[in-house]
Amino acid sequence: MVERGNAATAASPLTVWLDADGALLRLRLARPKANIVDAQMIAALHGALVAHGGNRHLRGVLLDAEGPHFSFGASVEEHLPARCAQMLASLHELIIAMVEFPVPILVAVRGQCLGGGLEVALAGHWIYAAPDALFGQPEMKLGVFAPAASVLLPYRMHLPMAEDLLYSGRSIGAAAAHACGLVHTVADDPQAAALGWFHEHLLGKSAAALACATAAARGAMQRDVRQRLAEVERLYLDQLMATRDANEGLAAFLAKRKPQWEHR
């Protein structure tokens, strides 16, 4: 994690600073154009939330990204059998930290928001999207599934549409994502739209009241997400990764070839 303007740590995958006289935490994915959600990015995001979670003046978080795309997703190499347990555990810890964060998290998206990148966005409160934004969980194309999205997507839209995205691996545009409830607002400048909403609706509020309101509104979701993430993590590691096709799909992606499914 880097504080804005700190050249000594410019290689960090995340830029972190406070805005609005300390009331708004800014988090910016800083590895364009892919902004891959790998172990280093996950650790930086989680670390920033832990570092600022006790700030009693904070009234919101804005998460956005450098470059033309929000994120192409997680690191496929980190999904391989030798590394996937550690990757899933750290990603799910980040998801829980976001879902349980004491103030609202606004997410501004341009371009592609896929896989693990979309899972991170889903853990926030509202997504502001540019008209060119694309949202998808392409994991099924690799012979695997999206654990966190399986838990979080049904909180954003009705279950049949969530299942459509989870099973097909297809992407949808900003207008369709807005129509089904995944996206809160479509705007030419999603960052400006999110900032405008924060300044109009959150900045003047009591941070103490916001923390209580967030806990009240998200209490059942927070308990459910913790339990369900543990369940899908075990399903992924114990059953999915024991299949031949999951390993074939990942290997085929890395080799840039079409997977050969054997349905076992």
Domains present along the chain, CATH in parentheses: 2-201 (3.90.226.10)
Tokens (6 digits) for 180: 């089904």
pLDDT band at 2 (very low <50, low <70, confident <90, very high): very low
Whether the pLDDT of residue 72 is over 80: the answer is yes
Show the beta-strand stretches assigned E in 72-221: 105-109, 112-114, 126-129, 134-136, 171-173, 185-186
Q: How far apart are CA 59 and CA 72, in angstroms?
A: 29
pLDDT in tens, 137-166: 999 999 999 999 999 999 999 999 999 999
Task: Work out the mean pLDDT of the chain and round it to a whole number.
Answer: 95
| Alpha helix segments (H runs only) across 100-205 | 115-122, 147-156, 159-168, 174-179, 190-201
Q: Are 82 and 38 in contact (CB under 8 A)?
A: no
Closest of 18, 107, 23, 17 to residue 71, by C-alpha: 107
pLDDT of residue 240: 97
Tokens 């998801």, located at residue: 95
pLDDT in tens, 188-245: 999 999 999 999 999 999 999 999 999 999 999 999 999 999 999 999 999 999 999 9
Secondary structure of residue 113 in the 3-state scheme:
strand
Q: How far apart are CA 147 and CA 231, in angstroms?
A: 9
Per the document, the length of the chain is: 264
Its pTM stands at 0.95
Q: Which residues contact 20 (CB under 8 A, 6 or more apart)?
A: 59, 198, 199, 203
Closest of 62, 156, 145, 146 to residue 101, by C-alpha: 62
Secondary structure of residue 190 in the 3-state scheme:
helix
pLDDT band at 11 (very low <50, low <70, confident <90, very high): confident
Phi and psi torsions of 99, nearest 5°: -65, -35
Q: Are 237 and 84 in contact (CB under 8 A)?
A: yes
